[in-house]
């Protein structure tokens, strides 16, 4: 059996910073996707919210830009174990988007251009916990990171923050998304290491 280089103790953890278990800190912003990167023009981009009764509420890019904008600074935690601290975004809170949407739903299935989906409890999209973001670090969000717009739900693992967001279907019963159907956890709390079903 080989030995570790003397003094090697793994990746360092920053002092005085809360880091979920099993994570390491990176300055990079790794690109991980389940398929090819969609290229969506803002001239044709649209976000649809469909309630459990089938009522549809739609926003064009211009509509999204007219809404109140917020600038959250949040930490990101990927299921592949990297964390990135202090990321800066600009976008629209889901509280703002859903303020006039009548629904008795408890769950949401978020859909993306390209076909990706992920499921979340509706409560995790409200209360200042989630945004549709279009700007990262002062610049338009690059397509490889989900531009022109992505969902941002920073308190859950990053696969829940669907890139290239296209739709939000509100549902009375939960329905698993892409990774959840392949064995990933339905909720995905990084502080409880909910990476896979059964965690």
Full-prediction pTM beyond 0.75?
yes
Q: Quick one: which H or E segment has residue 86?
A: strand 82-93
Tokens of 154: 């920073």
Domains of the chain: 44-192 (3.90.420.10)
Q: Would you write out the chain's pLDDT as a tens digit for each of its 199 residues?
A: 343 334 433 444 455 568 999 999 999 888 877 778 899 999 999 999 999 999 999 999 999 999 999 999 999 999 999 999 999 999 999 999 999 999 999 999 999 999 999 999 999 999 999 999 999 999 999 999 999 999 999 999 999 999 999 999 999 999 999 999 999 999 999 999 999 998 8
Tokens of 144: 């490889």
Select from 151, 78, 76 the least CA-distant residue to 119: 151
């Amino acid at each position: 059996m080989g030995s570790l280089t003397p003094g090697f103790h793994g990746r360092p953890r920053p002092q005085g910073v809360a880091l979920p278990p099993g994570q390491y800190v990176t300055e990079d912003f790794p690109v991980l996707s389940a398929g090819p990167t969609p290229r969506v023009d803002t001239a044709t981009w649209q976000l649809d919210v469909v309630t459990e009764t089938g009522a549809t509420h739609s926003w064009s890019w211009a509509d999204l830009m007219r809404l109140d904008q917020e600038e959250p600074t949040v930490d990101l935690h990927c299921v592949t174990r990297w964390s990135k601290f202090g990321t800066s975004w600009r976008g629209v809170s889901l509280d703002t988007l859903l303020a006039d949407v009548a629904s008795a739903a408890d769950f949401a299935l978020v859909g993306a251009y390209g076909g990706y989906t992920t499921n979340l409890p509706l409560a995790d999209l409200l209360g200042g916990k989630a945004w549709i973001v279009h700007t990262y670090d002062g610049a338009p969000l690059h397509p490889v990171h989900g531009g022109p717009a992505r969902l941002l739900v920073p308190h859950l693992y990053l696969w829940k923050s669907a890139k290239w967001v296209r739709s939000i279907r509100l549902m009375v019963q939960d329905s698993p998304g892409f990774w959840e159907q392949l064995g990933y956890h339905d909720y995905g709390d990084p502080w409880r290491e909910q990476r896979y079903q059964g965690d």
